[in-house]
Structure 1
């Protein structure tokens, strides 16, 4: 089995939106704030054109993706989703390495507090909890956690 990381392209929007929607439907603690059509449009018209979206392909199939951005003078990991059948196979690890390797400054992310698996994953990659929030800043209005990684904390 081969795993490759590459920059996402416009033609990947549908596959990435599909992974996102499938993963989010497995999160009963955080209902989707938008319907399928709006999510597909957001991937095609906003997320991918903004750039800094990476995807992982396993044997030619898109297995997961990560999206990053710069906001308020900070580098953010905004999205990291791996298709269910590829979870636990190194896809998330490979995407995380793509994002963090050689990064000279900190990276922040927010995750739902109830997403224990994702929190363990991020903590295992050197992210440290900065604060817990009540969800007033996210569309789902679900309690969240703010994490930060610094180059000197990566294991």
Structure 2
């Protein structure tokens, strides 16, 4: 397995993984966009914006993480692991990779109902600092703001 900066040719694999993982692991948070729109967003917005890394095992993308930095903080905007690879270290490898390169504090949002992801981030030192009713996210699902000081 190896982690590298995502390339445009990874767009199909990343979008496929994102869509499949959302459908398998987050049925409480229906996508706000069509599959086609998500694929286009990955190709035309997410990848060109930079800050995306993939963990590959040969020809297979097992997970990806998207980050951004701004003065005074950094954000993890996306971290998805193939549903068949959960609890096998893929997410930890991706997270530790970006933590080694991002300035602190590091922030992220997670759905409150995503107990597995919340436990994952808390194991890695993130602290829940704010809870919302979801009115500010596209899915309208209650979320939690995590910060790693």
Q: TM-score, normalised by structure 1?
A: 0.91
CA distance in 1, matches of 2:125, 2:72: 21
Is it true that 1:133 corresponds to 2:138 in the alignment?
no
- 1:64 is matched with 63
CA distance in 2, matches of 1:102, 1:44: 24
Check 1:89–1:32 CA distance in 2 against 1; reply closer, same or farther (3 A cut): same
- Aligned-pair Cα RMSD in Å: 1.3
- Structure 2 unpaired stretches of 5+: none
**How far did 1:104 drift?**
3.8
CA distance in 2, matches of 1:37, 1:59: 26
CA distance in 2, matches of 1:104, 1:75: 6
Check 1:102–1:33 CA distance in 2 against 1; reply closer, same or farther (3 A cut): closer
Q: 2:23 aligns with which of 25, 31, 40?
A: 25
Number of matched residues? 148
Is it true that 1:88 corresponds to 2:72 in the alignment?
no
- 1:153 is matched with none
Conserved in 1, the CA contact under 8 Å of 2:107 and 2:145?
yes
Q: TM-score, normalised by structure 2?
A: 0.94
Conserved in 1, the CA contact under 8 Å of 2:69 and 2:103?
no
Check 1:79–1:102 CA distance in 2 against 1; reply closer, same or farther (3 A cut): closer
Conserved in 1, the CA contact under 8 Å of 2:72 and 2:104?
no
- 2:14 is matched with 16
